[in-house]
Homo-oligomer: A and B are copies of this chain.
Amino acid sequence: MILELADIRILPGQQAGFEEAITRALTTVASQAQGMMGWNVNKSVESPERYVLQIFWHRLEDHTVGFRQGPLFVQWRAIIGPFFAQPPMVEHFELVGKSVGKSD
């Protein structure tokens, strides 16, 4: 399992529109991608235009090749791209460890 973390900065005042758009893009477009295992969207308390999107992929290539180089990516960017103040910063992560028996 690979965790994609996308650090997103949107245009000021566009929070409601962006939250609707990214939820729609995730549920109608990205969810169709092969190896897409789950997602969450989080908004910063300190920085009103900052969001962090987390997507769990089965394999790294499911994101970097299958999704980004396939037809779904065009639809994805058409929905959420207009809200970006700058290109998102995206990296991929492997789990080192996690808590057991707590509500995470």
Choose one: B31, B50, B92, B104; the contact of A45 (CB below 8 Å): B92
Q: Decide if A39 touches B93 in the complex (CB within 8 Å).
A: no
Complex contacts, A60 vs chain B, CB 8 Å: 45
Complex contacts, A22 vs chain B, CB 8 Å: 96
For the complex, what is the distance from the CA of A42 to the CA of B1, rounded to whole Å?
11
Number of residues on chain A facing chain B (CB within 8 A)? 39
Choose one: B23, B44, B97; the contact of A93 (CB below 8 Å): B44
Choose one: B38, B47, B97, B102; the contact of A104 (CB below 8 Å): B38
For the complex, what is the distance from the CA of A21 to the CA of B23, rounded to whole Å?
37
| A1-37 interface bits toward B, Cβ cutoff 8 Å, 1 = contact, 0 = none | 1110100000000000001001100100001000011
For the complex, what is the distance from the CA of A91 to the CA of B26, rounded to whole Å?
24
Q: Decide if B102 touches A45 in the complex (CB within 8 Å).
A: no
* Contact (A56, B23) CB under 8 Å given A42-B93, A50-B91, A91-B50: no
Name 5 A/B residue pairs within 8 A (Cβ), A-sorted: A3-B42, A39-B99, A39-B104, A51-B96, A56-B104
